[in-house]
Amino acid sequence: MSFTEEIKLFLSRHHYNRVNPRAALIDMDGTLYDSMVNHTAAWHKMMLGLGVKCNRDEFYLYEGMTGAATINLLFRRAFGHEVSPEECARLYKRKTELFAEMPPVEPVEGAKLVMEKIMERGWERVLVTGSGQSSLINRLPDDYPGLFRDDMRITSHSVKNGKPHPEPYLKALELAGVKPWEAIVIENAPLGVKSGDSAGIFTIGVTTGPIPARELRRAGAAVVFDSMESFAGEFDRLIDAILNTSSDSNVN
């Protein structure tokens, strides 16, 4: 499989002539860490305790939203109202505590290899996460040495609108000092993919959990890999294809 058709489809959807990556904007949960099993379990446990009917897998679909957005979505559905900002903060703290009680989280298999390849290219790197939980963010320098400078991160504290809104990735572009066609996004979840694609960025989806590839494509992923290991194996071929593919149409 060559990537040319997928790249051309992306170029035509966004009316670009070509993509010339100089920055990688990278999601954290489910992309760098296999943390989604613990996140979904913590959300499920807390919400059931509050009398909110829900099933564990649905939380994969909310991945990328801020904690406040997730809480209010479920409260609207269950009780017909949102919660106050104070209550929201209390509940999110509770969810964070439940998350901390879960078994240790490990880096996603193959993610380190992908990050090394990105660093070899000399691109800027920006962390773009809907999470406000410092426990994982603080581990990044140990698990991914040199990947992100301290000022190169967008978290739930940096934005008014979380994923799937384009704001997190638009802000990340600003941080990196590049245009949308000069970056790639790496995401594992539909809302994150939608955020990246809505910001006009070539978004690479990696299925690291139970969400099928078609959901990531539907959300706007230009290319989808079934694991970080397969992404690592195809990385150079994909980037070369991106650099060598231009739109057929005259967009002048």
Interacting residues with Ca ion (CB under 5 A):
27, 29-30, 188-189
- Contact yes or no for 29/65 (Cβ under 8 A): no
- Contact yes or no for 46/52 (Cβ under 8 A): no
Provide the minimum distance between the beta carbon of 63 and Ca ion in the complex, in angstroms, as a whole number: 5
Task: Rank residues 27 and 167 by Cβ distance to Ca ion and give the closer one.
Answer: 27
Task: Rank residues 125 and 181 by Cβ distance to Ca ion and give the closer one.
Answer: 125
Phi/psi at 116 (5° precision): -60, -40
Report CA dihedral (221, 227, 229, 233) to the nearest 10 degrees. -40
Provide the minimum distance between the beta carbon of 27 and Ca ion in the complex, in angstroms, as a whole number: 4
Task: Rank residues 44 and 163 by Cβ distance to Ca ion and give the closer one.
Answer: 163
Q: Which residue's CB atom is positioned nearest to Ca ion?
A: 30
Provide the minimum distance between the beta carbon of 205 and Ca ion in the complex, in angstroms, as a whole number: 10
Task: Rank residues 78 and 102 by Cβ distance to Ca ion and give the closer one.
Answer: 102
Provide the minimum distance between the beta carbon of 2 and Ca ion in the complex, in angstroms, as a whole number: 28
Report the distance separating Cα 62 and Cα 56, nearest Å. Answer: 11
- Contact yes or no for 164/64 (Cβ under 8 A): yes
- Contact yes or no for 168/159 (Cβ under 8 A): yes
Provide the minimum distance between the beta carbon of 35 and Ca ion in the complex, in angstroms, as a whole number: 9
Provide the minimum distance between the beta carbon of 1 and Ca ion in the complex, in angstroms, as a whole number: 25
Task: Rank residues 6 and 34 by Cβ distance to Ca ion and give the closer one.
Answer: 34
Amino acid letter, residue 239: I
Q: How far apart are the first and last CA of the chain?
A: 30
Task: Rank residues 133 and 245 by Cβ distance to Ca ion and give the closer one.
Answer: 133
User: Alpha helix (H) ranges present in the chain?
Assistant: 4-14, 36-49, 58-61, 67-79, 85-100, 111-120, 134-137, 140-143, 167-176, 190-198, 213-218, 228-244
Q: Say whether the peptide bond before residue 164 is cis (omega within 30 degrees of 0).
A: yes
